[in-house]
Amino acid sequence: MTENEKQPRGVAELISIVEALIFVADEPVSAKTLADVLEEDRETVEAAIEGLVKEYETREGGLQLRSLAGGWQISTRTEFHEEIRAFLKTRPSAKLSLAALETLAVIAYKQPATVPEILEIRGVQSASAIKTLLDKRLIVSKGRKETVGRPMQYGTSKDFLIQFGLKDLSELPSIEDFEDLAQ
Amino acid sequence: MEQQTEQLTFDFHTERANIVSESRDEIKLELGKFAGPLDLLLYLIKQEQANIFDIPIARITDEYLKYIRLMKSLDIALAGDFIVMAATLIEIKSKMLLPRELTHELDEEIEDPRQELVDRLLEYEKFKSAAQMLYSRATVEQAVFTRGQIESDENNAETNATVFDLITVFQKILARHKEEVQMEIRREEMSLSDMIKAMQQRIFQTNELNLLDFFREISTRSEIVLAFIAVLEIVRTESVKLLQEKTFGDIILRKA
């Protein structure tokens, strides 16, 4: 089929194609990327995604379609994790240490955050925690801060959003919300 | 301390210090892990059921120092930050013992020596809760699975670099060296283990090593032969992979 004789796709067809593409994508795929590949309007693709979301909701199958890290991803529903683990013969992977999680929290909320800023809040040197987070690609360096000592700045990565199931950073509860919780 | 705890997993609810038994001047502790001095301090304040806005500094300082001494006696490496906090506590304690200066105007608010510490504790506590939130999120996410990776050239560059590919590369290099006019001035015998060591060093420095580049740096024929054997030996014994991105492309040694 050449460019010229391209038939406009029907809504149902587009929904199916969108589903197929989201399925094969390694990472959450954005509506924009899908629109570019399919040479469709972004609105049309977004409408198709919305249709697909509804299908998934109505069907209540083993899979879910969710918005993650600025894109869309097909994954299993949480309810079936035990059966899936039994089948895959896997165990939950090693969790982050308390130190690493705290450091990650500081970086997530204060980004771009420098080592001295993290030290100030945590009251402890966090070099090895930062290294762990960098190794796990949860944080990325964001250049140096133009201040005394030009410390390296860190921010969270796309992998952070994916691994913590976040649409974007705004989905994190506000840090002030933890004030009441802590009391 | 951080160094040690780093590789371990933890649970917010169990891996905590527990006071096993307590008598008048003896305190027995089950040691848990603290993320830092602020974490320990918060824990002690909770244990003492003290109000964070009105910390009984003398009592908390004593408890803190007890804890530090205990950790020391158990030879637990203490991060310097724990000592800094001990010093801060003692400083606050002594400031509170001093009589308030009379030179202050009556209506002037005299700052509580504890204020800065309280502010830090409150700030830290927020991030501690945020860390807990991240922990729960990550736990939920571990119950979600995406499909396995679809094999493609991109994610599986480990196309079989066979012995024949290696020999081809080897021959290319040999041929080039034949053309060069050799001027051997010194005779340096390199052993196979030297060659393996050299190669390992390069791989561990940069994580990967382009074999063609490595061979290019070698000047003598016997060393090239050694290098070739070294490659085979390293692949056999070490956790390294041979990668060839495309057919007839350069062969790369990479740490697995």
Tens of pLDDT, residues B216-239: 888 778 888 888 888 888 888 877
pLDDT band at A54 (very low <50, low <70, confident <90, very high): very high
| Least confident segment among A18-27, A50-59, B91-100 | B91-100
CB B100 within 8 A of CB A153: no
A117 versus B152: which is more confidently predicted?
A117
Place of tokens 């080897």: B170
Residue A166: CA atoms inside 13 Å, Cβ hemisphere, count? Answer: 21
CA gap B149, A174 in Å, rounded: 35
φ/ψ (deg, to 5) at B106: -65, -40
Per-residue pLDDT, B109: 61
In percent, the amount of chain B with pLDDT more than 90 equals 7
CA distance to partner chain A, nearest, from residue B45 (Å): 12
Inspect the interface and report whether the beta carbons of B128 and A182 lie closer than 8 Å: yes
CB A111 within 8 A of CB A175: no
pLDDT at B50 exceeding the cut of 80? yes
Per-residue pLDDT, B247: 77
| Least confident segment among A166-180, B11-25, B33-47 | B11-25
Contact B255/A at CB under 8 A? no
Mark residue B48 as left, alpha or beta (left: phi above 0; alpha: psi -120 to 50; beta: remaining).
alpha
pLDDT at B255 exceeding the cut of 90? no
DSSP B252: E
pLDDT tens digit sequence for B78-110: 667 888 889 999 998 888 887 766 555 555 566
Query: What's the Cα-to-Cα distance from B213 to each of A123, A177, B246, B247, rounded to whole Å?
Result: 47, 56, 17, 18
B-chain residues within 8 Å CB-CB of A84?
Answer: 145
A-chain residues within 8 Å CB-CB of B12?
Answer: 98
Inter-chain Cβ pairs, chain A and chain B, closer than 8 A = 144
Please name the residue of chain B whose CA is at the shortest distance from the CA of residue A65.
B146
How far from chain centre, in Å, is Cα A41?
24
Please name the residue of chain A whose CA is at the shortest distance from the CA of residue B10.
A97
B-chain residues within 8 Å CB-CB of A76?
Answer: 144-146
CA gap B158, A96 in Å, rounded: 30
Token pair, residue B55, equals: 């910390």
Token pair, residue A1, equals: 């089929």
Per-residue pLDDT, B156: 59
A69 versus B248: which is more confidently predicted?
A69
ipTM summary value: 0.84
pLDDT, mean of residues B24-42: 65
CA gap A19, A7 in Å, rounded: 20
Closest CA to B233 of B253, B205, B210: B253
pLDDT, mean of residues B43-54: 86
pTM above 0.80, yes or no: no
Contact B152/A at CB under 8 A? no
Helices A98-110 and B115-141, packing angle to 10 deg:
100
pLDDT tens digit sequence for B160-217: 667 777 888 888 888 877 766 666 666 667 788 888 888 888 888 888 888 888 888 8
pLDDT at B12 exceeding the cut of 90? no
Per-residue pLDDT, B75: 62
pLDDT, mean of residues A100-129: 91
Contact B85/A at CB under 8 A? yes
In sequence order, which ranges of chain A are alpha helices (DSSP H)? Answer: 11-24, 31-38, 42-59, 81-88, 98-110, 115-122, 127-135, 158-163, 177-182
Inspect the interface and report whether the beta carbons of A173 and B133 lie closer than 8 Å: yes
Q: What share of chain A is helix, strand, coil (3-state, %, to 5)?
A: 50, 15, 35
Token pair, residue B33, equals: 């892990």
B159-175 burial code (b ≥16 CB/10 A, e <16): eebeeebbeebbeebee
Token pair, residue A127, equals: 């070099």
A-chain residues within 8 Å CB-CB of B39?
Answer: 98
Closest CA to B64 of B111, B23, B24, B17: B17
Place of tokens 């244990």: B47
Closest CA to A18 of A47, A41, A48: A48
Contact A179/B at CB under 8 A? yes
CA gap B155, B10 in Å, rounded: 33
Q: Could you say which residues from 100 to 119 on chain A have a Cβ atom under 8 Å away from some Cβ of chain B?
A: 100-102, 104-106, 108-109
pLDDT at A63 exceeding the cut of 70? yes
pLDDT tens digit sequence for A149-172: 889 999 999 999 999 999 999 999
Strand partners of residue B158: B244
Q: Could you say which residues from 77 to 96 on chain A have a Cβ atom under 8 Å away from some Cβ of chain B?
A: 77-78, 81, 84, 88, 92-96
CB A36 within 8 A of CB A135: no
Inspect the interface and report whether the beta carbons of A125 and B79 lie closer than 8 Å: yes
> Coil, strand, or helix at residue A145?
coil
A-chain residues within 8 Å CB-CB of B130?
Answer: 105, 108-109, 175, 178
